Structures are given as C-alpha cells and as structure tokens.
C-alpha cells in the first residue's frame, strides 16, 4: 500500500462531500451523453453477412434472435490465436452474467470473432461462459466494422461506404497501433501468436437495430470506449490503489483461471 495522507473523520467527511458534488455532476453529464448516444442517426446495413454458429449458418438478422436490438462485442480471437485475448476474456467475465437482464429489455448481446467456430466454442467451455459466440471467419464483417486487418499488418480499414467512419476509427485508436505498448507482446504470446497476428484483431462494440427486414448500425466504440463493460475497473477505481497500472492498461490482467491464488496479482 502506498503512503497516503491520514486525517480526522471530520476532514474525511468534508473532502468526501466535496467529491460527492463532482460525482453527481459526472452522473448527470453521463445521462446527457447517453441521451445523445441514443439520438445518433442510424445507418442501414445493405450488405449480407453470414456467420457460423453452434446452430448452423446465420445472417446478421438471425443474430437478433427475435429482438429489436443487437449488441455485438468484437472479441479479439483471430484465426492464428490458440486462445482468446486475456483482456477481452476479463471483459467477457464482466458481462456474461448480466445477459438475462439485457435480453429482458429487448436486446440480444453476443460476441463475434474471426477465429473458426470450433476454437471459440472450446475456449467458451474452458472459461465457463454462456453467451452466444459466433464466427465471422468466412465473412467480411470484422473488416467492415474496423476490428480486423490482414495478418502481418497494423493497418485497419473500414468498408462502410464512408471515409468519415474510417477517420473516426483511426481517431479513436489515438495512435495505439503506431506506438504499441509492451503489454501487446505479452498478450500476443499468451494467445499463441506473434505481435503482427495479435494486432491484426481489435476489440470494440457495435449496436444494431432491426425494423422488419432492415438492420441499422446505431452505435460503435473501440479501445477505451468499451471500458464501461469492464466492471472490475469501476470497482478498483474506488480503492486506494486504484488501477495501479502506471498508465499502461491491463498488464496485470490474466484469464480468471490463470491467477495464482497464493500470491499477488503479478504472479
């Protein structure tokens, strides 16, 4: 534990009440941002996609499973990977248990990755997850939505008929792919691939709506834009040590069955 200021209860209470005002302001600001997010214009998806599921071939419309909204988590698990990305795995731990509540609100949430379906389902069994996981291996889906590039390439392109969308994706990356942190090599090794193979995939979230036979893109977000799914960060942000990451996201993360229970997180 790092050295920290010690004070009286009165000093703590005064500081806590002052902080509470900022927390309330942040909550109200978050409500406003959520409203604007819901008001984004929709983009009709005209391209036909085909996915491999544990129930056979499926279209994008099929993935809604009769609901009007579809949330896709783009899980980093490319064809050369032997196992899924540890950071995406920790994220999946966070949302796997809440899916019945999401579905009760007319929304289906699934994961889509480019690895062959057999790899995805085997890893899902290992991790003990229940969410629907489908493969886009024989589809342009991952490329079109900016989360896959050709192997041995750091360049990500979009095919949504819009250069502006590609510009948005590159802006949100904020130079990450041009300045790869050391964690990338660690994660690549942990996924059974090299750095080029690892960064040929990216994570993100895409939200779609369905009206009749028409499907629309409503929202997308990448990199730290998916942090809202990582409940462990929100919890750690309330502790004295916080994330304790020295500016590099996730070097301590492991798959939940890889932590050494008899030592600290860095074992």
Model confidence over 53-98: pLDDT tens digits? 999 999 999 999 999 999 999 999 999 999 999 999 999 999 999 9
Give the residue among 64, 249, 47 at the shortest CA–CA distance from 158.
Answer: 47
Class of domain 43-236: alpha beta
Model confidence over 202-217: pLDDT tens digits? 999 999 999 999 999 9
Lateral strand order in the sheet of 214-222: 43-44, 214-222, 204-211, 69-74, 107-113, 133-135, 50-53, 56-59
Question: Taking the CB of residue 234, how many other CB atoms lie within 10 A of it?
Answer: 11
pLDDT band at 135 (very low <50, low <70, confident <90, very high): very high
**Domain boundaries along the sequence of the chain:** 43-236
The strand pairing partners of 110, in sequence order, are 72
Q: Describe the crossing of helices 86-96 and 182-190 by its angle, rounded to 10 degrees.
A: 80
**pTM confidence score:** 0.86
Model confidence over 118-131: pLDDT tens digits? 999 999 999 999 99
């Amino acid at each position: 534990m790092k050295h920290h200021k010690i004070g009286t209860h009165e000093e703590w209470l005064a500081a806590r009440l002052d902080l509470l005002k900022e927390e309330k302001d942040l909550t109200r600001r978050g409500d406003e941002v959520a409203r604007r997010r819901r008001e984004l214009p929709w983009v009709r998806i005209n391209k036909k996609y085909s996915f491999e599921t544990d129930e056979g071939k499926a279209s994008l419309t099929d993935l809604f499973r009769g609901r009007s909204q579809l949330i896709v988590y783009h899980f980093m698990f490319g064809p050369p990977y032997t196992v899924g990305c540890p950071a995406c795995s920790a994220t999946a731990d966070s949302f796997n248990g809440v899916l019945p509540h999401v579905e009760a609100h007319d929304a289906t949430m699934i994961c889509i990755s480019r690895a062959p379906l057999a790899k995805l389902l085997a890893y899902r069994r290992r991790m003990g997850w229940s969410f629907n996981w489908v493969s886009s291996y024989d589809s342009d889906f991952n490329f079109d939505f900016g989360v896959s590039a050709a192997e041995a390439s750091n360049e990500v392109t979009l095919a949504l008929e819009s250069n502006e969308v590609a510009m948005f994706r590159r802006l949100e990356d904020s130079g990450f792919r041009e300045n790869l942190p050391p964690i990338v090599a660690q994660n690549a090794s942990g996924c059974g691939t090299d750095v080029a193979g690892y960064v040929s995939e990216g994570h993100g979230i895409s939200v779609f709506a369905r009206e009749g036979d028409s499907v629309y893109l409503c929202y997308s977000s990448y990199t730290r834009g998916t942090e809202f799914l990582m409940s462990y960060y929100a919890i750690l942000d309330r502790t004295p040590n916080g994330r304790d990451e020295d500016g590099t996201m996730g070097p301590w993360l492991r798959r939940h069955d890889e932590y050494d229970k008899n030592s600290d997180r860095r074992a």
